[in-house]
Amino acid sequence: MNTIAERLREERLRLELSQTELAAAGGVGKTTQINYEKGARNPDSAYLSALAGIGLDVQYVLTGLRSTTFGQGEAQIPSVGGSHPATMGKHSWSEGLSAVAMYDIEAAAGDGRSLEQEEVESTLYFPTEQLSAQGLDPAQVVGIKVRGDSMDGTLADGDWVLVDRSSRDPKPEGVFLLLVHGERRIKRVQRVAGGAWLLISDNPRYEKELIKPEDMKDVKILGRCEIRIGKVL
């Protein structure tokens, strides 16, 4: 299966659910579900998070790689709307998965507050083992929704990106979640002579922004952007 749409349909069939049933479990209408499976629309994080709760392998749908939790015996899927968690054999569906809080960078952009003070838009679950293999501590990872086109070519409007909050050193250079004058932004950070930083938008339509050493008090690195989750073009 090569596309998100195809893998989503495969997972629905594995769970032995109709399009109507899966749509209800994900909080969408049947027409939306059909569009997801046709590839006309991409499922959003709230939908995928809801389906993780009934045993859908979100990791597989997004990446094509099976989660370590899945495929270990026959799935026991609860009825849609049931109160008990889905299990895989004798294991809870969440065993081996790490919950990652997902925030909207536009909604969570106020006055330098920590992300923990902001409203979590949704929660996605990722295999702990795979996060660790990427050098990521699941406890330090958050998801951020990209807003705007300033990082086009690297990150598109509406993409999600996993941010490692434990990595706040601009060496080596990379793409970071920043707090600039109380506003959260995602930019490429480059160190320049004299201790200044250059904030770069990968979209060439946007000018580079020089942060002088004396202005560093107004800029804070919140974490390094590590993994993009977005539409396959």
Can you give the CATH number for the domain in which 179 is found? Answer: 2.10.109.10
Domain carrying residue 192: 99-229
The verdict on 193 and 135 lying in the same domain is yes
The verdict on 141 and 201 lying in the same domain is yes
The verdict on 209 and 143 lying in the same domain is yes
The verdict on 18 and 128 lying in the same domain is no
The verdict on 124 and 213 lying in the same domain is yes
Q: Stretch 46-50: mean pLDDT, rounded?
A: 84
Count of structural domains within the chain = 2
Q: Stretch 186-192: mean pLDDT, rounded?
A: 93
pLDDT grade for 158, boundaries at 50, 70 and 90: confident
**Would you say residue 136 lies in a domain?**
yes
The verdict on 125 and 214 lying in the same domain is yes
The reported pLDDT for the residue numbered 190 is 93
**Would you say residue 31 lies in a domain?**
yes
Q: Stretch 144-169: mean pLDDT, rounded?
A: 90
Q: Is the pLDDT of residue 25 over 70?
A: yes
Phi, psi of 139 (to 5 degrees): -70, -15
Q: Stretch 205-231: mean pLDDT, rounded?
A: 89
Q: Stretch 28-52: mean pLDDT, rounded?
A: 88
- Mean pLDDT check: name the lowest of 9-23, 51-65, 66-80, 89-103: 66-80
Is the distance from CB of 209 to CB of 197 less than 8 angstroms? no
The verdict on 32 and 144 lying in the same domain is no
**Would you say residue 92 lies in a domain?**
no
**Would you say residue 89 lies in a domain?**
no
Note the pLDDT tens digit of each residue in 89-140: 333 445 577 888 888 876 544 444 566 667 777 777 788 888 888 899 999 9
The reported pLDDT for the residue numbered 160 is 86
Chain centroid to Cα 118, Å, comes to 16
Which CATH number is 37's domain given?
1.10.260.40
CA distance 87 to 97: 13
Phi, psi of 173 (to 5 degrees): -65, 150
**Would you say residue 51 lies in a domain?**
yes
CA distance 64 to 87: 21
The verdict on 148 and 207 lying in the same domain is yes
The verdict on 32 and 126 lying in the same domain is no
The residue type found at 194 is: G
**By three-state DSSP, how is residue 18 classified?**
coil
Quick one: CA torsion of 112, 122, 41, 68, rounded to 10 degrees? Answer: 120
Taking phi over 0 as left and psi of -120 to 50 as alpha, with beta for the rest, 89 belongs to left
CA distance 196 to 199: 10
